[in-house]
Amino acid sequence: MGGWWRMAVLAGAVLAAGGAWAQEPAEAEAGVPAGEEPFPYAEEAESRHPGYYYPEAASVEAYTGNLDPVPGSDRAVRSAFLSGFAQRALDRPYAPQFAIFGKGADLEKLIVVSLQDDSLNTLYRMRGMMAMLTAVARASTAFRETEVAEHLNFLDLLASLGFRQVTLSDGRSWSHHIRLEAPAVEPAQ
């Protein structure tokens, strides 16, 4: 687990610096109304998180990760990732533009909420922030050690760490859920 543990901690610390993730349109189900497609942990999210951390989701999409799950990736690894990220953001000499935190029994849900009214106030701006996080992740030593780093994005990193859902919100009027799925495993021959 050594290399992957370092990747989780390093990614949390390094990624606080910045964020675009990109996905081919054929790979996403962007803009699907939230009620039309269930996502993991729906009952818990519906009962506790909307209306408290963010407004009801207006849309849902699915994303299948392109990295195998990190061996041993559990609540502790996701917690280290989030702690490193938060600490790095709070160490900056200016206020963070967004809060990023985990929820769920196993910290399987990542929530990103804008902290400023005039900043990450559209889904497009949130996607741009996620793209910057991808760029920073690709520049990290841990990501560069993979043979396919240039094809990976921030959502791939999250899925490989065991996150199952990402919620993006402006903190005022909208939110968007991304259901993360692990890559399909080829059957052994």
Tens of pLDDT, residue by residue over 3-31, are 444 444 444 433 433 333 333 333 334 44
Q: Are strands 165-169 and 175-181 parallel, antiparallel or unpaired?
A: antiparallel
Supply the pTM of this predicted model: 0.73
Q: Which carries the bigger pLDDT value, residue 28 or residue 178?
A: 178
Q: Is residue 188 part of a domain?
A: no
The partner residues of 99 in beta bridges, in order of sequence, read: 113
The pLDDT value given to residue 47:
57
Residue given tokens 């992957």 in the structure block: 4
Q: Is residue 119 part of a domain?
A: yes
Phi, then psi, of 13 in degrees rounded to 5: -75, -45
* Longest CA pairwise span in the chain (Å): 54
Q: Which domain holds residue 9?
A: 2-181
Q: Is residue 95 part of a domain?
A: yes
Q: Is residue 187 part of a domain?
A: no
